[in-house]
Amino acid sequence: MTLMSLVRWIGVLAIVWTLLAIGLGASGTHLPNRPNPRDAAPATRDSVSLQAMPAIWPYPHDFVMIDRKSGQKTPMVVPPGETWSNISISPWPGPDGEIEAVGRWVDQSRDEFGGWAVFRPSDGEVLYRVPAELLANGRPCWVPGQPRMIVFSAGDGRLYRCRLASSDDPISDENSSRRIYASGRTEPSDPIEWRTTTPGAREPLLLDPLWPSEPSLRRWLLVSLVNLETQKGVTAYAPARLWWLELSDDARSIVAAGPLTTPDPDDTEAARFDQRFPEVVHAPDGSTRLVFEERLPRSRKIRLVSAPIEFDSRTGRPRVSAHLVRSPSPPSREMEAAPFLISGDGATAFAFHQNSQLTAFPIPYQR
């Protein structure tokens, strides 16, 4: 099977999978005893307030950088000659103090050869490439405490980790791209394995990974989890639910897991909504909250939801308060079901309007 055939085959699986309705589950039990590098104090360097967003949706070709503090949009320079997607700006400056971004590149002139690459969004210079066949489901997240390490969700519904070389790596130089193209081979990304009980009878699908840099949450990776459920003899994907995952120190395995949200038995309508695209925000009142989208399956009705993040007094694990605050009902038809970005003051979500343009939507905090 040629590389093009394999990529197209995986792409078809990704498309079919994303058309399915979306998860629920159970929790794990293990807590590592060794010190976790992600629990260390935040880096002394200033964090980067910029994040990449497509200029339009759902067919992004150009990208912009949005300053979370000011809301100002700046064009991003992507490396020329290739198609780029799933771009994310590192929360921390690179070794030389420059802003760095990672993105999925595809060279259509070379049998759709592609992979991940780190580049400078200021001038588009590629710093390092990792060729990979796996197609990503969305924007990757950066692993706190491990510069140039990303986690992404692939078309098979699994999470993968990918190491992107540091600047002092001997193979991270101007000849790396030429060597990659000359060899024409791809490097395998490492699947993140379950080392605890998986929710449900089969391994769930995992979407929208978010690894917060907030010190109180650095131990956990947040995801939208999609599980298979059997009701009245029919097996189908249940609505997506937000979960926390605790990973091993090397981010190679899931050692514990549990739901962030708890279904309200009195709200049967809310149980039908998918929960997608979690984001952590410092609210204007000083609290740390989770903001996410709710969407009815096969519907364009979207609403933003926010809730305070609490921690179990016994285990220290996170959970979302039962006091969910939703944007006005009925859900809006104006917002697209797509990743969004939260402003630095926690008051606004930069999301895509149904006209495909980035628009500022207020985040609901009061009932």
Cβ atoms < 10 Å from Cβ of 93? 16
pLDDT recorded at residue 46 = 56
pLDDT recorded at residue 161 = 93
Residue 13 to residue 31: CA distance in whole angstroms: 34
Dump the DSSP string for 30-42.
----SPPGGGSPP
Cβ atoms < 10 Å from Cβ of 230? 11
Dump the DSSP string for 46-111.
PPP-EEEEESBSSS--SEEEEETTT--EEE--PPTTSEEEEEEE-SS--TTS---EEEEEEEGGGT
Percent of the chain with pLDDT over 90: 37
Residue pair 38/220 in contact (Cβ under 8 Å)? The answer is no
Residues found in the chain: 367
3-state helix, strand, coil in the chain (%, to 5): 10, 40, 50
Q: In terms of Cα–Cα distance, which of 89, 80, 82, 86 is closest to 60?
A: 86
Residue 20 to residue 248: CA distance in whole angstroms: 30
> What does the pLDDT look like over 132-179, one tens digit per residue?
888 899 999 999 888 788 999 999 999 999 988 654 554 444 445 555
Residue 28 to residue 152: CA distance in whole angstroms: 21
Q: Give me the tens of pLDDT residue by residue for the chain, a chain 367 residues long.
A: 344 444 444 443 443 334 333 333 333 333 333 334 344 333 334 578 899 998 888 776 789 999 988 888 888 999 998 899 999 999 988 888 899 999 999 988 887 788 999 999 999 999 988 888 888 999 999 998 887 889 999 999 999 999 886 545 544 444 455 556 555 556 668 899 999 999 877 899 999 999 998 888 989 999 999 998 877 777 788 899 999 999 998 889 999 999 999 877 676 677 788 999 999 988 888 889 999 999 887 777 788 999 999 999 999 999 997 778 888 755 666 888 888 999 888 888 988 888 888 888 889 887 6
Map tokens 């929960």 to a residue. Answer: 275
Cβ atoms < 10 Å from Cβ of 292? 26
pLDDT recorded at residue 330 = 57
Residue 302 to residue 157: CA distance in whole angstroms: 23
Cβ atoms < 10 Å from Cβ of 283? 16
pLDDT recorded at residue 147 = 77
Domain boundaries, the chain: 3-25+47-272
CA distances from 144 to 68, 199, 214, 249 (A): 19, 26, 9, 11
SS3 for 117-165 is EEECCCCCCEEEEEECCCCECCCCEECCCCCCEEEEEECCCCEEEEECC
Residue pair 158/226 in contact (Cβ under 8 Å)? The answer is no
| pTM confidence score | 0.81
> What does the pLDDT look like over 6-50, one tens digit per residue?
444 444 344 333 433 333 333 333 333 333 434 433 333 457 889
DSSP letter at 21 equals: -
CA distances from 162 to 130, 213, 291 (A): 8, 18, 27
